[in-house]
Amino acid sequence: MSIRTDLALEQKELNPDKTDGIESDETVLDDIKITRIRIKNENGERTLGKPIGTYVTVETPPLTDSGEMNENAINAVSKELISFLPKGLVLVAGLGNTSITPDAIGPKAAKGILATRHIEGEIARSIGLDDMRPVAVISPGVLGQTGIETGEIIAGITRLIKPSAVIVIDALASRCLSRLGCTIQMSDTGICPGSGVGNKRAEISKKTIGVPVISVGIPTVVDAVTLAQDLTGHECERTVNPRGAKMIVTPQEIDLLVSRGAATVSMAINYALQENIDRETILGLI
């Protein structure tokens, strides 16, 4: 059966007895569960269908269940991101299409990122922010809007401003409805944009753009065939997609899920990037 998921954790759950080339550990902090999966070699790559690297999954209570952001979730994501980040300028790219709600996580999160590359020298010192990390932020849109591959835009900007790393934010697909809006995955292996809505584009990774690429994503959809097969245990593609047109399933409260998910991710990234600035100052600047 064809099971579609972007989450390394779910791939591991589908292959519980295959451990060659795969290491994992778990941490539980209050209402947050953190799972770290490390793919060490080609055997691990074949088992999980993902490149060699580290994948961190932060599972939280549903982001739509409370009117306030979950500080435990923000802190957990921020701490894990810090372990991925080198020193120096970072480019943050919010990937996705604002016209498709489940695919709008990236652009919405980008709006909440504190851009600081232009604040430097005497200006930074005069306002007491000379310890800020330089950060640049873009929302490159999608191929159908620009006629340019997202990876090409990021690669071009990377060559121009020379960041030490790129953070890409995108929507993901899960195999389980229960993980939508309460799971955040990070990895140091890059990303293929459009995964969440079944429209994968060219890979964005260190191999393709020349600097480390850290991906951050929240699953917002489940592939309809995957969901049907998960519920019934049988091959269902002809029944679910009788005319070959692929369908995705997303929750009724998707607008709220995307809004709160984007806010959680953007705040966690801000905290990770600006370790030397207190959080009240960050909030004030945003």
Q: Identify the helix (H) or strand (E) that includes residue 173.
A: strand 165-174
Alpha helices in 29-94 (DSSP H): 42-48, 71-84
Q: How far is CA 128 from the centre of its chain?
A: 32
- Report the C-alpha gap between 84 and 238 in whole angstroms: 42
- Does residue 197 have a pLDDT over 50? no
Q: What is the DSSP letter of 195?
A: G
One-character DSSP codes across 240-259: HSTTS---EE--TTHHHHHH
Q: Which residue carries 């290491």 as its tokens?
A: 23
Q: Tell me which of 199 and 241 has the higher pLDDT.
A: 241
> Do 205 and 154 meet the contact criterion of CB atoms below 8 Å apart?
no
Beta-bridge mates of residue 22: 39
Q: What mean pLDDT do residues 115-135 have?
A: 78
CA-nearest of 52, 48, 38 to 18 is 48
Q: Is residue 285 in some structural domain?
A: no
Residue 25 tokens read as: 């550990």
Q: Is residue 41 in some structural domain?
A: yes
Domain count, the chain: 1
Task: Provide, rounded to the nearest whole percent, the portion of the chain with pLDDT above 70.
Answer: 90
Residue 186 tokens read as: 């990070």
pLDDT at 218: 96
pLDDT at 278: 84
Q: Is residue 64 in some structural domain?
A: yes
Q: Is residue 283 in some structural domain?
A: no
Q: Is residue 282 in some structural domain?
A: no
- Does residue 82 have a pLDDT over 70? yes
Q: Is residue 13 in some structural domain?
A: yes
Q: Identify the helix (H) or strand (E) that includes residue 25.
A: strand 22-29
Mean pLDDT over all residues of the chain? Answer: 88
Q: Is residue 236 in some structural domain?
A: yes
**Segments forming the whole domain that contains residue 63:** 8-273
- Does residue 89 have a pLDDT over 70? yes
Q: What mean pLDDT do residues 36-61 have?
A: 94
Q: Is residue 76 in some structural domain?
A: yes
CATH of the domain at 226: 3.40.50.1450
pTM score: 0.91
CA-nearest of 58, 101, 129, 111 to 267 is 111
Residue 245 tokens read as: 């047109």
